Amino acid sequence: MKWAGREVSSPFFLFSLAQLPGCGEHGGARHRSSDVPSQVYSPRAEKIPAQHLAANPKLEATPGERQTPASLIRKSPPTSRERGTPSQLLIPFSPNPPTFFPFCQTSSSQPVRCLEAVNTLPSPVQRSAAGRSSPGLCLPVPRLPGGRRQPREPAGRERGAPGAVPSMRPAPRSLPALLCCCSAGLLLLLLRWRRWKRLWEKVEAARQRQEEGLDRMDKAVRSFREQHPSVNMVSILSLSLPELSRKLRDGSLPPEHVFYAYLSKALQITRETNCITEYMQESETQLQQARPPGKPGLLYGVPVSIKDSINCQGHDSTLGFVKNINQPMAEDSVLVQVLKRQGAIPFVKTNVPQSLISFDCKNLIFGQTFNPLLYTRTPGGSSGGEGALIGGGGSILGFGTDVGGSLRFPAAFCGICALKPTGNRLSKKGVISGIPGQKSVVAAVGPMAKDVESLALCMRALLCEDMFNLDSTVPPLPFNEEVYSSTQPLRIGYYETDFFTMPSPAMRRAVRETKKLLEDAGHTLVPFEITNVDYVTYNFCVRGMFADGCTSFLKKFEGELERSSVGTFFWLAKLPNCLKTLVSWIAKPFVPRLSNIIRSMRTNTVDELWGLHHEIEESCHQFIAQWKKLNLDVMLCPMLGPALGIGYPGKLSVAVSYTMLYNSLDFPAGVVPVTMVTDEDEKELKGYQGYFRDRWDRTLAKAFHGSVGLPVAVQCVALPWQEELCLRFMKEVETLTLKKNQIV
């Protein structure tokens, strides 16, 4: 049928007056008080087209409006039954409506004529009969004059009682919502549990692979001993690297005898200290192919150990992170490639602390590594596995990295020697850093061995054409034999303390005794005034390494099972800048060093970072100017020691000031053991208070306690790119110390 000239499917329509033009707020009716009584509930009058007025003569229009039809006017307000509930009323239409409302918008956004007039308001009986099944008009809630709502139906009326109106209130949803939230929470816990389970399965698989590797080592050693029972392994292990290298190259000592001698000793040491993470079984194959057709390399037949973070083809470089398990490297690092070309045989990888940013040696995958000299002490870190293995005699030459003392701490704690070269003297290609990309604190790759001559031989072998060709960023500077072999007296600067970390009595004594030995040997010792180490530590080292607000550092821990290796530092790093500033301000009166560290961990802008790099460069130039003003050749410095108790390095991050200074300056620095802790040192330690007398100083005193008989070392430092001079100075210190000990 047609309504208002349009085809419609039914004469009945359901719509709300709130959608109609001209309706008042909340869909309520507005009236002209002069025309309609206050009891009338009618939509606002609208202008009616002329054709509708002609068809309905009873409707009289005022200018601009039409009046309400008399048929819609009630002389009394509706009763409570007629009012119904505060919800909309459903009113059936008459099939022959007299008039139409103006245009309304439908869901299709097309204007249609809407039915306007209603013959009469239905009675409660009609409403009840119509129910929800009858199409009808949804009228708004009735209002009293002044816009007030009609009072609600009195409570207590039962459903189905005469005059009761069916409730439109929706069913309660609290229980389904609660069940939905509980289900979501359980699902999240289940997913988290499954992820943890998968990670723990990876950890168990890595540990199982570690044990299987040790079993293979044991079987290989047993098989060799059965086939060669007359080989004297003890005599092989007693040879220094220069002597061993010479015998291997001239053929007087078979490489197999050397390899299995060190394999046996490495197995013993790792059973005691837990220093080896992976056995490279391909080393046995390499051993059979070690003899080159031409002249053998300087390291021909020498078994070498490799730190976990230095890439070896087919093996993981985990850095103590579970996510890096079962991620074998596609190729060897440049360092390993050069070693192999020189005839060396990498045979094991060694343990590190999680993230490498620690001078302890513990991670969730492989556990704690112990000091071979005293199992209750840490071997140092982050090259702690190397320090323990070489210190225990399980390797004659090893390689690690250093970004704040990671070579020098293990060497000093385990009583061996190490060299941290200038940052780019040896290639770092294929070596994973703890914080990739940061340039403020320069990382370096270096060797570790039992004596200085072994370090020198290693540098001779590595500084070759293979190194320069495989990595063109390494300057082509061959080992300068003339500088290393010189016997000219040296002019040596020295200092006993950096006035930031108070040295232990043994540390101070080590510098004084070495100074006296050098003076007696004809060298000149000049006091060097070291200043602003606190500023360098906070602003150059901490701020430089974490200039991005620790973002890069924290990303490495995402999805990990454990973060205990960095302790409280991790949670401080997670704070936003505003909280770091607040905590720093609150802590400053009580723990000023902690306050400065937290402040230095804030996010820097690009402009601030460039300014920091410029400041570091200027500081380096000033340090060199002071060095040259005194006409120095090298520097004698304290080295933190003796070895700290297990667990203490994580509580003593400020104790890296003696080593990290030379990473910031990018100077070559080596470590040589010169003495051991005495009973007198232990007595003096009772009066140790530190410069700040804070918790860190008290903790450091406890960490030093009970160290009688442990080694103490000194640092030997030279200017950038003068590794040969640094080694020559280290050799002088080592020779004089050995002479003194022989006399004693």
Count of CB atoms situated within 10 Å of the CB of 620: 16
Residue type (1 letter), 414: C
Question: In the predicted model, what is the mean pLDDT of the chain?
Answer: 82
Of 188-202, 390-404, 706-720, the least confident? 188-202
pLDDT at residue number 49: 52
pLDDT at residue number 741: 86
**Which pLDDT band holds residue 743 (cuts at 50, 70, 90)?**
low
pLDDT tops 90 at residue 99 = no
Of 87-101, 299-313, 543-557, the least confident? 87-101
Give tens-digit pLDDT for 638-656: 999 999 999 999 889 889 9
Provide the CB-side half-sphere exposure for 278 (13 A, CA). 29
| DSSP character string of 127-177 | HHHHTTTS-EEEEPPPB-TTSPBPPPPPTTPPTTSTT-----PPPP-HHHH
Residues 262, 259: Cα–Cα separation, whole Å = 5
Mean pLDDT calculated for residue range 283-292: 83
pLDDT tops 50 at residue 621 = yes
pLDDT tops 60 at residue 74 = no
**Which pLDDT band holds residue 50 (cuts at 50, 70, 90)?**
low
Mean pLDDT calculated for residue range 202-229: 96
Residue length of the chain: 744
pLDDT at residue number 459: 98
Mean pLDDT calculated for residue range 546-554: 92
Question: For residues 521 and 89, which has the higher predicted lDDT (pLDDT)?
Answer: 521
Catalytic residues: 307, 382, 406
- How far is residue 30 from each of residues 35, 43, 638, measured CA to CA in Å? 12, 7, 93
pLDDT tops 60 at residue 293 = yes
Mean pLDDT calculated for residue range 508-529: 97
pLDDT at residue number 390: 98
pLDDT at residue number 146: 54
pLDDT at residue number 208: 96
Q: Delineate the domains of the chain, giving CATH numbers in brackets.
A: 203-478 (3.90.1300.10), 489-530+620-743 (3.90.1300.10), 548-603 (no CATH)
pLDDT tops 60 at residue 436 = yes
Helices first, then strands: H and E counts in the chain: 26, 21
- Cβ neighbours of residue 601 closer than 8 Å, sequence gap 6 or more: 542, 543, 546, 549, 550, 572, 573, 580
pLDDT at residue number 571: 81
Of 26-40, 41-55, 281-295, 578-592, the least confident? 26-40
Buried b (16+ CB within 10 A) or exposed e, 190-221: eeeeeeeeebeebbeebeebbeebbeebeebb
Residues 404, 659: Cα–Cα separation, whole Å = 6
Residues 324, 308: Cα–Cα separation, whole Å = 11
pLDDT at residue number 393: 97
Cite the beta strand spans of 140-266 per DSSP E. Answer: none
- pTM value is 0.77
pLDDT tops 50 at residue 98 = no
pLDDT tops 90 at residue 87 = no
Q: Where are the alpha helices (DSSP H) in 497-605?
A: 505-520, 533-535, 543-545, 551-555, 568-573, 577-587, 592-600
Q: Token pair of 425, please?
A: 């003297």
pLDDT at residue number 145: 52
**Which pLDDT band holds residue 148 (cuts at 50, 70, 90)?**
low
pLDDT at residue number 606: 94
Mean pLDDT calculated for residue range 690-700: 94
Mean pLDDT calculated for residue range 265-287: 96
pLDDT at residue number 178: 84
pLDDT at residue number 431: 97
Q: Which of 273, 268, 217 is closest to 410 using CA atoms?
A: 273
pLDDT tops 60 at residue 133 = no
